[in-house]
Amino acid sequence: MARKSEHDDPDQPDLPAGESGFGGAGDSVVEQAQARVAEVMGDIAEFWGFTRTMGRIFGLLYMSPEPLDQSTVRSRLAISAGSASTTMTALLDWGVLHREGRLYVAETNFFKLITAVLRQREAARVEDGIAAARDVVGLLRAAQKRDGDDPRVDFALQRAEHLLGFFEMGRSFLEAFVERSPIRAILNGLARTASRLRPAPLPGRSFDAQDTLHEPIDERIDA
């Protein structure tokens, strides 16, 4: 089905969803670049504990000159419908992808991506660790109170309390990094530098008020 957006040139013909409209030899080299970046991002995602498919989908859409529909993503990456649907839903939840009707585009603000992942994935894992450690500490304290002194219980309790303290410290570090850390001043400087290195907008579009790469980190994070 043909598509047009408010940014389209009215003199240009409608394009099928997910097709570029550039044509010619350029499409071949762009597809090679997309494939290479998709594989690189797959490697990076896998290294950091994400699925390889997450990285590949992001890489493909990041390098795509136009929004793509899910069917096109599946075809280009040779992945199943179930894998594409599950993965793209997760990426939408994390703000890695954005949806425009049936089409998808990649987030290009890497600082925003990092803070979103820290908040939604890493923080959740730390909270899970804290909850588990607290349960273990409670179990051992109850045993200590019930059974009296037992060197093995005392040892296990000390280790569990140490682990709980470590997890709580990790949570504080993440909160400080994302919300209140002096590191934000450093990131603000990096953001200003990166504002000169913004990725190209999609053809027919320009960076609008929603493009926030040039804004200070603290303004973007608090948004």
pLDDT digits (tens, 9 = 90+) for 85-135: 999 999 998 889 999 999 999 998 887 787 777 777 777 788 889 999 999
Instruction: Extract the tokens encoding 58.
Output: 């992001």
Query: Tens digits of per-residue pLDDT, 13-30?
Result: 344 444 444 455 567 888
Higher-scoring residue by pLDDT: 22, 63: 63
Q: Which of 17, 13, 20, 2 is nearest to 202 (CA)?
A: 20
Q: What is the mean pLDDT of the chain?
A: 77
* Among candidate residues 54, 72, 106, the one where a domain is terminated: 106
153 vs 20 pLDDT, higher one: 153
Q: What is the pLDDT of residue 63?
A: 92
Range of the domain at 19: 15-106
Question: Is the Cβ–Cβ distance between 54 and 88 less than 8 Å?
Answer: no
Number of domains in the chain: 2
pLDDT attached to residue 4? 43
pTM over 0.75: no
pLDDT at 169: 87
**Residue 110: predicted pLDDT:** 82
Residue-level pLDDT at 198:
59
Q: Are residues 139 and 210 in the same domain?
A: yes
At 43, the amino acid letter reads: D
> Where among 106, 126, 153 does a domain terminate?
106
Whether 201 and 207 have beta carbons less than 8 Å apart is answered as yes
Count CB atoms within 10 A of the CB of residue 40.
13
| The dihedral sign for the CA sequence 130, 133, 139, 144 | negative
* 214 shares a domain with 164: yes
Residue 213: the pLDDT is 40
On whether both 120 and 167 belong to a single domain, the answer is: yes
Who contacts 202 (Cβ-Cβ below 8 Å, separation ≥6)? 65, 66, 67, 105
Are 116 and 215 in the same domain?
yes
Residues 204 and 126 in one domain: yes
Helices (H), the chain: 25-47, 52-62, 70-77, 81-93, 110-117, 123-147, 151-175, 183-194, 217-222
Please check whether residue 10 lies inside any domain of the structure. Answer: no
Out of 65, 90, 106, a domain closes at 106
Give residue 115's pLDDT: 76
Q: Is residue 8 part of a domain?
A: no
